[in-house]
Amino acid sequence: MEKTIAAIATGNAAGGIGVIRISGEKAIQIADKVFKAQDGSSLLSLKGYRAKFGNVVCKGEQLDNAVALVFRAPKSYTGEDVVELSVHGGIFIVERTLEAVLAAGAVPAQAGEFTKRAFLNGKMDLTQAESVADLISAQGEAAAKASFSALQGSLSNKINKVLNDLMDCSASMAAWVDYPDEEIDDLEDERLEQTLTDAGNALKDLINNYENGQAMVQGIDTAIVGRPNAGKSTLMNLLVGRDKSIVTKIEGTTRDIVEESVRLGTLVLHLSDTAGLRKSEDVVEAIGIERAYEKMKSATLVLPVFDSSRRLNNEDLKLIEICRDKKAVAIINKTDLKQKADIDMITSAFEKCVFISAKNSSSTKDIEIAVKELLGVFDFDASAPLLANQRQKQCCQRAMDCLFDAVSCLVMNVTRDAINVLVDDAINELLSLTGKKATVEVVNNIFSKFCVGK
Ligand code: GDP
């Protein structure tokens, strides 16, 4: 018998209410020992989806008012009997209530154990379980939408559709292998090739959309770079919405990388404001400049800032060259001043340029539009099926490779049993993606990344 587990389900901070969640066969029995309903009734006789008002009692003393909410298996988050005790959300009260629950016979829940039980009890598949953790850590609209959509089963449904088609193929091929003397209809051959190709293409679409999905959901690692005084820190502060970086006329003010995550419309940018690019004898500044170049190389997106009121210098030209290999939106700054820079050199080198006066502007809309267009995420639909992590992507990749190999074998008239091995390998990859055939290590690894209480 699985042990009955308990944990604080709400955050580790004072709040309006704090919830202690108990799950397992003895959940109601244990809750009944620490909770006394005001009307004197016992939780043992309470139906599922019902709540009682009363008090939490700890070592014979009333600790706090509480509401006990009872869920009866299998109609609960975990699929087991669950009781949620809501008390006033002070850390002390919540912890004392948990202690009382543990003293009454529950054991502390491990990280992610409630959701792991939900998965093991068939309440959700592995992609949905992963989306629970993603939903909790979502920082922006796209992330929240994408993980909620996955929780609702958008990815599972897409994968299950592919799986069903492949299982049909596998079953007919197994039949052909069992009765080798039967003629194979040309039409059947064509149908098989089409089904395998369609399945491979469905997975290919998911894989191709992965990078964009990650950019929208996880946020975009973005480097703000440029020569000293171009207006990098002013731009950073404009995007952040407050004074994060120090702005002065003195060159070399920003010496190390200043980081901040910001929401830009539906985008999340993880910004790094870097040291101004120039030759410097100052050891500390030189290290900062080195770091700026490294950051530029590793960043997904670069925002090179150019001062339109000064002639382009060698550092600007070098920056233009480096940006050729990067996804970059040129920020042509100080448009309120007389233009001296050769703007054509910039506009001809970059797919996207934004003209701005960072000091006077309050709008960042043009930058948002340019970034979205450059990354191809303008019409990004976060509620479409999306792969959420490398594990899911790798399962899809391996399944897709098997399917396209199977199509090639079919075209070359390789025997059906060999083709069926490839199709079965693809099926197994997809079953491990949804968790129907995932190893214990994979499952444990996924849930170990959850927080306790989820
Ligand atoms: P950084 O060295 O590239 O980080 O440049 P800063 O953001 O520190 O800006 C250098 C100087 O340029 C500061 O005095 C800013 O106030 C000024 N500055 C920044 N953006 C603009 C702008 O759009 N117009 C004008 N006129 N001055 C600006």
Q: Which of 247, 250, 338, 362 to mutate to test the pocket of ligand 1 (most atoms within 8 A of CB)?
A: 247
- How do strand 301-307 and strand 220-226 relate by DSSP bridges? parallel
284/58 Cα distance (integer angstroms): 59
CA of 371 to the centre of ligand 1 (A): 22
pLDDT averaged over 10-residue windows placed end to end, the chain, 454 residues: 91 88 98 97 96 94 95 97 94 94 96 94 93 84 87 94 94 77 69 95 95 87 93 92 67 70 89 81 77 88 97 94 94 96 96 95 91 89 91 97 96 89 96 91 86 78
State the pLDDT at residue 358: 94
Residue type, 373: E
* Nearest one of 446, 453, 443 to 120, comparing CA atoms: 443
- Rounded Cα distance between 270 and 221, Å, is 5
Q: From the CB of 247, is ligand 1 less than 6 Å away?
A: yes
SS3 label, residue 138? coil
Pair 388, 127: CB distance under 8 Å: yes
- Please tell me the predicted confidence (pLDDT) of residue 212: 86
Alpha-carbon distances, residue 222 vs 219, 235, 270 (angstroms): 9, 13, 6
Instruction: Tell me the CA distances in angstroms from 414 to 77, 168, 192, 199, 419, one per residue in order.
Output: 48, 19, 13, 20, 7
Cβ of residue 234 lying under 6 Å from some atom of ligand 1: yes
Per-residue model confidence as pLDDT tens digits over 78-113: 999 999 999 998 889 999 999 999 999 999 999 999
What strands lie across the sheet with 329-333, from one edge to the other? 258-264, 267-273, 220-226, 301-307, 329-333, 352-355
Looking at residue 184, its pLDDT comes to 60
Shortest-distance Cα residue to atom 24 of ligand 1: 334
DSSP letter for each residue of 319-338: HHHHHTTS-BEEEEE-TTSP
Q: For residue 317, what pLDDT is reported? A: 95
Residue of 224, 225, 227, 229 to mutate, ligand 1, most atoms within 8 A of C-beta: 229
